[in-house]
Amino acid sequence: MKKTTLGELKKTGYIPKTVNMELSSNLREKLKSGEPTFRGIIGYEQTVIPDVERAILSGHNINFLGLRGQAKTRLARQMILLLDEWIPVVNGSDINDDPLSPISLESKKLISELGDETPVNWLHREERFFEKLATPDVTVADLIGDVDPIKASNLKLSYSDERVIHFGMIPRANRCIFVLNELPDLQARIQVSLFSILQEKEIQIRGFKLKLPLDLQIVFTANPEDYTNRGSIVTPLKDRIGSQILTHYPKSIEIAKKITSQESNLDKTTLDKIYIPEIAKDLLEQISFEARKSEYVDNKSGVSARLSITAFENLISTAERRSLINGETSTSIRMSDFLGVIPSINGKIELVYEGEQEGADQVSYYLINQSVKSMFSDFFPKIEKLQKENEVSPYDKLLGWFFKNNELFIHDNLKDNEYIKLLEKIPDAKSIIKKYNPKINEKDIYFMIEFLLWGLESFQKINKYRTSEGFEFKDSLGSYINKL
């Protein structure tokens, strides 16, 4: 049972602890027991998380530096799980005063008057997280506080008296974790106001210094692109931040797939009705990897991991929409469904001048095609640009069918049985897939046939055209020669 007065609290043998002491002692226990310190943050186990753990053990304030969509804020939010579950505070204190170690004038006065009868409240760790997005309009009053002239007048006090101050977010976050997102967006003069808090534990309001030994774990986040586009972190402030930790994007398709699966917001009943080939998941993640190295995309701005998450949700919705239109209870993802992810890509990439000239939709469509081209050789023999005369290609029979003026039109909303019947018409497609992918799941065959056609088009062996209703595959050269 939690104690409700200062006297009862003293009898328990309670000893005040700083935020850094809480974080480091609880982290030590987790490390000793082998328990994960940060859950649900995939891909950082050997890179970022060890750096965070070292910073916490060192008692450092932290700056997470990385491009958008790299889980910087999530890391900061999870730090509250390393705090003690409950801490005692003086009842009514604006700045969460510790009953045995108060720092505000009001709490000290209350304890001197009531002694052991001073009422005590308990603060849960979930309430000990404060977050502020740094924007150009943030003021010193927002962060530190300001003099309240009405209070000064009513109490007949000098402006230098602590009792006339209206505290800002940082003093109110005493004994808590305070996160300031996008630090470079904060005006330089506002950044300067943080110096004394980080170093001397003082706050200064309108020229009046107030010795207030605030107990905080401060976490900043920053995007390196902001250093040039919108602002910068002033050097003296950066010098006072104990650890600057670099974040990064997933380093492999497998890690990226785990993140997308964990973060996607989809109903399980919907997922149960839609079969998703593993190659479709790989292809979806490859789009982000292609975007991060594309000449049309501003790589300094970064390509958020949210691209894959929202694209996956749109991919499933595209298949679900088709099945609802056709009155089918279940379906499977198709290559043509990837057209439905274009709106997700458009909103997640910043285009350079060349990309703007092409247009967002065209760049997104290009990235999907490039992903197919990059992955094609993982499943099928590589297609060389120059083929020797009389050289036999594993694709000859299939390409010959298109060369003979045969065309294939895949409607976006084709029923499953009609879709299968249509792809069955393509000679040698199944045998090519099974020859080079002998362990393939039978459910993946028709997706792979479409993937094969997209791949052949990416290497300019056949032509693919997009209409308002679907995709058309044909050999324009063969059609031209046959007409002649």
**Residue 219 phi/psi, 5° resolution?**
-125, 125
What single DSSP character describes residue 384? P
User: What's the confidence (pLDDT) of residue 482?
Assistant: 52
CA–CA separation, 137 vs 309, rounded Å?
32
User: What's the confidence (pLDDT) of residue 207?
Assistant: 60
User: What's the confidence (pLDDT) of residue 187?
Assistant: 85
Q: Answer yes or no: is pLDDT of 388 > 70.
A: no
What is the mean predicted confidence (pLDDT) over 424-449?
A: 93
User: What's the confidence (pLDDT) of residue 243?
Assistant: 93
CATH topology of domain 6-246: Rossmann fold (3.40.50)
User: What's the confidence (pLDDT) of residue 142?
Assistant: 87
Beta strand 145-147 with 202-205 is: unpaired
User: What's the confidence (pLDDT) of residue 484?
Assistant: 45
User: What's the confidence (pLDDT) of residue 236?
Assistant: 85
Residue 226 binned pLDDT confidence (cut-offs 50, 70, 90)? low
Q: Where are the beta strands (DSSP E) in 134-242?
A: 145-147, 165-167, 176-181, 202-205, 208-211, 216-222
What is the mean predicted confidence (pLDDT) over 289-298?
A: 93
Per-residue pLDDT reduced to its tens digit, 158-170 = 656 666 777 889 8
Answer whether 395's CB lies under 8 Å from 456's CB.
Answer: yes
CA–CA separation, 133 vs 288, rounded Å?
27
Residue 393 binned pLDDT confidence (cut-offs 50, 70, 90)? confident
Q: Kindly list the domain boundaries of the chain, sorted by start residue.
A: 6-246, 253-483
Residue 47 binned pLDDT confidence (cut-offs 50, 70, 90)? very high
What is the mean predicted confidence (pLDDT) over 352-376?
A: 93
User: What's the confidence (pLDDT) of residue 316?
Assistant: 95
Min mean pLDDT across 172-176, 298-302, 372-376 is at 298-302
- Beta carbons within 10 angstroms of residue 205's beta carbon: 23
Residues in the chain: 484
Out of 53-57, 131-135, 228-232, the most confident range is: 53-57
Percent of the chain surpassing pLDDT 70: 90
Residue 157 binned pLDDT confidence (cut-offs 50, 70, 90)? low
Question: In this structure, what token pair is assigned to residue 105?
Answer: 């004038």
Question: In this structure, what token pair is assigned to residue 87?
Answer: 């801490």
Q: Answer yes or no: is pLDDT of 69 > 80.
A: yes
Return the sign of the alpha-carbon dihedral for residues 443, 449, 450, 451. positive
What is the mean predicted confidence (pLDDT) over 122-137?
A: 91
User: What's the confidence (pLDDT) of residue 370?
Assistant: 95
Per-residue pLDDT reduced to its tens digit, 333-353 = 999 999 999 999 998 888 988
What is the mean predicted confidence (pLDDT) over 122-148?
A: 87
Question: In this structure, what token pair is assigned to residue 410?
Answer: 């895949």
Average per-residue pLDDT for the chain: 88
Q: Answer yes or no: is pLDDT of 321 > 60.
A: yes
Min mean pLDDT across 65-74, 134-143, 369-378 is at 134-143
Helix (H) or strand (E) holding 321: helix 306-326
Closest of 77, 72, 76, 68 to residue 307, by C-alpha: 68
User: What's the confidence (pLDDT) of residue 229?
Assistant: 47
138 against 164, higher pLDDT: 138
